[in-house]
Amino acid sequence: MFTGLVQKSGRVKRISFGRARVVEVEVDAPWSPALSDGESIAVDGVCLTVARHDATRFTADVLEETANRSTLGSLTPGARVNLERALRAGDRFGGHVVQGHVDGVGRLVSKVQRGRDFRLSFQCPRAIAAATVLKGSIAVNGVSLTVSDIGDDWFSVDVIPTTAAETNLGTLKNGGAVNLESDVLGRYALRRAEHVADESPESSSGGLTLEKLAENGFL
């Protein structure tokens, strides 16, 4: 589990392909010597397992499913990626619960400077927007952010100067692809609401409904 508070950024050193798909990624990491083989690490919000490491870099395998659902399949050597080690028992918990299980890919459609901050607007799959709420949390390339505005297939977030400087969100260009993970609590609430909505009126009367979730600010 992660918190969406990016700890470091790294650079993609090497990409290996198998049958035209990414099967392995090697990343230069500032604290690579402290890593352990087999531990989890989030790379642009995608939970990967450290296969091996040395004093300057680590290597992780990339599943076919992971390549299909995320931007890892389009990484190139030299690309800057956000890195976060898995949360340990006793660590301070900032951000929000991030699993590293990317829901899909979004694209930046506008970047507007507001004083020292930036407002970034992303187009996203409708399923992700449906599981996201105004002032709720969402992970963008592994960064925990608060939703400032939202529509049926888009959302906006505000980024402070520190976040822009310490992550790759500060250099993102219009059209740029990002990994998105909606709040796990929102996903479970939506799934439960869909399940109840599919039940017969008799069995679901007085239970959880989409209308009740909306009334209480969950949708």
Give the model confidence (pLDDT) of 154-168 as tens digits.
999 999 999 999 999
**How far, in Å, CA of 11 to CA of 8, rounded?**
10
Kindly tell me if the per-residue pLDDT of 186 is higher than 70. Answer: no
What amino acid occupies position 90? G
The highest-level CATH class for domain 8-85 is mainly beta
Query: Tell me, what's the pLDDT at 77?
Result: 92
Top-confidence range, 26-35, 55-64, 85-94, 198-207: 55-64
Q: Please give the share of the chain, as a percent, with pLDDT higher than 90.
A: 58
Q: Is 104-184 CATH 1.10.3720.10?
A: no
**What is the per-residue pLDDT for 166?**
94
Report the mean per-residue pLDDT for the chain.
87
Average pLDDT over residues 80-102: 87
Question: Could you write out the DSSP letters of every residue in 89-117?
Answer: TT----S--B-S---EEEEEEEEEEETTE
Q: Which of 63, 58, 64, 62 is nearest to 11 (CA)?
A: 58
Confidence band, pLDDT 50/70/90 cuts, at residue 216: low
**Start-end ranges of CATH 2.40.30.20 in the chain?**
8-85, 104-184
Give the pLDDT mean for 20-26: 73
